[in-house]
Structure 1
Amino acid sequence: MASATRALSEAEVPAEAVEAPAPGVRRISIGSYNIHSCVGLDRHRSPSRIADVLRELDCDIYALQEVDNEPGDEEDSKQLEYLSEAMHMAAIPGLRIVRHSGEYGNALLTRFPVVSVHRHDLSYGKWLEPRGAIDVELDVGGRALRVIATHLGLSRSERRFQWRQLLAAIAASPPEHPTVVLGDMNEWFPRAGTLRDAHKILGEALAPPEFPSFWPFLALTRIWVRPVQAIVSVKAHSTPLAKRASDHLPLRAEIDVERFALRAPT
């Protein structure tokens, strides 16, 4: 795989990253998408269809959940590598479930140079599915941007534990450090204490409903941006293709980076 699209390992910074917008870029877009192992509502497994949805979204950064990297004879069997090459973007894998046949979990795709990569283990109990978060620093046209992408657990106690871990990691950075936190939070109760705690630190997230994709009424996926005044819009991407490609619709946020204060390290 070409250096621009290979997966980046822990704390690795590529010598050559995907070409980024020139310094002075004004707006960027970031998407979050639970791709459901690329299995659509028709029960057909189609990474190429997910790639088409990503092209519709037209984002600079994608946080993906439920990426299935099961080896196989087909060209698109390893989904992260396939999507990375299809989108011409660098791929950053997260902590994943290692199955007998392959790997499964979170990933990031980005067009921006990667400054650092860290991973947080959010696993809770030995009987529950392992969970994690990808924590990266990106150079966005000369501005530093921290992106934390995750997929939280199904039980309330599990999510409380995971949110405590995440919020502690977020608090380690100064409030003026531009930060995006996004992913499938599996929290359908809008007054949940976990969400209130996150809103205190990150500001309230705009959360249009995106699940289930054919008739969305639950807001499981969320995108927080700090500072909140940098948010231009957050929308669910509801096209005929997106409604079929996965059981979730993707969210797309547009961000005004001119409202960020922090510059990237030189």
Structure 2
Amino acid sequence: MPEHRLTLLSCNIQAGSSTSRYRDYAIRAWSHVLPAGKRDNLDAIAQLVQPYDIVGLQESDPGSLRSGFMNQTHYLAERADFPYWSHQPNRTLGGIASSANALLSRLPPNEVLDYALPGRIPGRGVLLARYGDGEDGLTVAVAHLSLGARSRQAQIAFIAELLSDAPHAVLMGDFNCAPDAPEMQLLFRRTRLAPPSEVFPTFPSWAPRRALDHILASEPLIAEAPRTFPAARSDHLAVALDLKVPKRCLGAEA
């Protein structure tokens, strides 16, 4: 069967902020409300994502005081030469700070949809892109799940419903839990997504202990070479893998 190789990357970019130790959360608290110092980090992230075909971002500021009212997703798409980009603003704090899931793509998606996720505290979402046509198409979802297990369980059930009929699917993002967490089992039972072949700790980036960031692919797809590496000075490591996809999944544009 003819195959196409895609390179995928997922990263929580922390809105371009710098965190390299726990005390930075207090010492550099100003960076969560002011734009200073973020441009260099965004330029480094643009270099990081440039070689990839499809990139999922979390905590990309769509335009608030802390980003200098700049849409960070658009900035990264231009700097890294991605012809297609989309974002899903899902949390706004009075114009001071805002956060979005985002997609950068070198292939043209047929459609991009966004959904609000359930949870005790609103402001979480999943961004979903479809490539190719019909049942053979590829579905790529980008999500940022809640800190609380109960809210994550409801969110995972919602995502599982979205992806239950997708034979070729990828779910990437900041899950805020490990793949073997109890709430994750619902996802693996109700969709064709498979647990990752290797699990890497991604948080905190300066001394990774917790596996929070993942790229999951459905079993008909072949995931290879999973890896992690720093994303400028974000508090999360980026995760990446190569994916073998049947060419029919991507349509004529492949």
TM-score under structure 2 length normalisation: 0.80
Q: Which residue of 2 aligns with 1:227?
A: 219
Q: Matches of 2:91 and 2:248 in 1, distance apart?
A: 37
Match of 2:110 among 107, 115, 122: 115
Q: Which residue of 2 aligns with 1:6?
A: none
Q: Matches of 1:185 and 1:170 in 2, distance apart?
A: 16
Q: CA deviation at 1:227?
A: 2.6
Q: Deviations over 1:106-137 (max 9, x none)?
A: 11111111101111210323xx1411100111
Q: CA deviation at 1:263?
A: 5.5
Q: Deviations over 1:7-43 (max 9, x none)?
A: xxxxxxxxxxxxxxxxx77311111100011001264
Query: Is 1:78 aligned with 2:71?
Result: yes
Query: Is 1:98 aligned with 2:98?
Result: no
Q: Pick closer, same or farther for the CA change 1:54–1:263 going to 2, 3 Å.
A: closer
Q: Which residue of 2 aligns with 1:41?
A: 19
Q: CA deviation at 1:229?
A: 4.8
- SS for the counterpart of 1:264 is helix
Aligned positions, number? 230
Query: Is 1:204 aligned with 2:195?
Result: yes
Match of 1:180 among 170, 174, 181: 170
Query: Is 1:194 aligned with 2:183?
Result: yes
Q: Matches of 1:212 and 1:133 in 2, distance apart?
A: 23
Q: Matches of 1:92 and 1:78 in 2, distance apart?
A: 11
> Once the two structures are aligned, what percentage of the paired residues are identical?
23
Q: Matches of 2:40 and 2:155 in 1, distance apart?
A: 32
Q: Matches of 1:255 and 1:170 in 2, distance apart?
A: 18
Tell me the C-alpha RMSD between the 2 structures: 2.7
Letter in 1 for 2:112: V
Q: Pick closer, same or farther for the CA change 1:56–1:121 going to 2, 3 Å.
A: closer
Q: State how 1:1-266 maps to structure 2 within 5 Å.
A: 26-41=4-19, 43=28, 45-57=37-49, 58-71=51-64, 77-89=70-82, 90-101=84-95, 103-125=98-120, 128-139=121-132, 144-173=137-166, 177-188=167-178, 190-200=179-189, 201=191, 202-205=193-196, 206-227=198-219, 229-238=221-230, 242=231, 244-258=232-246, 262=249, 264=251
Q: Matches of 2:43 and 2:137 in 1, distance apart?
A: 27
Q: Pick closer, same or farther for the CA change 1:74–1:212 going to 2, 3 Å.
A: closer
Q: Matches of 1:262 and 1:71 in 2, distance apart?
A: 37
Q: Matches of 1:79 and 1:32 in 2, distance apart?
A: 15
Letter in 2 for 1:36: Q
Letter in 2 for 1:104: S
Q: Matches of 1:180 and 1:210 in 2, distance apart?
A: 19
Q: Please tell me whether the aligned partners of residues 231 and 253 of structure 1 are also in contact (alpha carbons under 8 angstroms).
A: yes
TM-score under structure 1 length normalisation: 0.76
Q: Matches of 2:165 and 2:218 in 1, distance apart?
A: 14
Letter in 1 for 2:87: P
Q: Matches of 1:76 and 1:27 in 2, distance apart?
A: 36
Q: Pick closer, same or farther for the CA change 1:134–1:74 going to 2, 3 Å.
A: closer
| Higher alpha-carbon deviation: 38-47 or 245-254 | 38-47
Mark the runs of 5 or more structure 1 residues left unpaired by the alignment.
Answer: 1-23
Q: Please tell me whether the aligned partners of residues 47 and 79 of structure 1 are also in contact (alpha carbons under 8 angstroms).
A: no
Moved over 6 A (4+): 73-76
Q: CA deviation at 1:194?
A: 1.8
Q: Matches of 2:71 and 2:101 in 1, distance apart?
A: 13
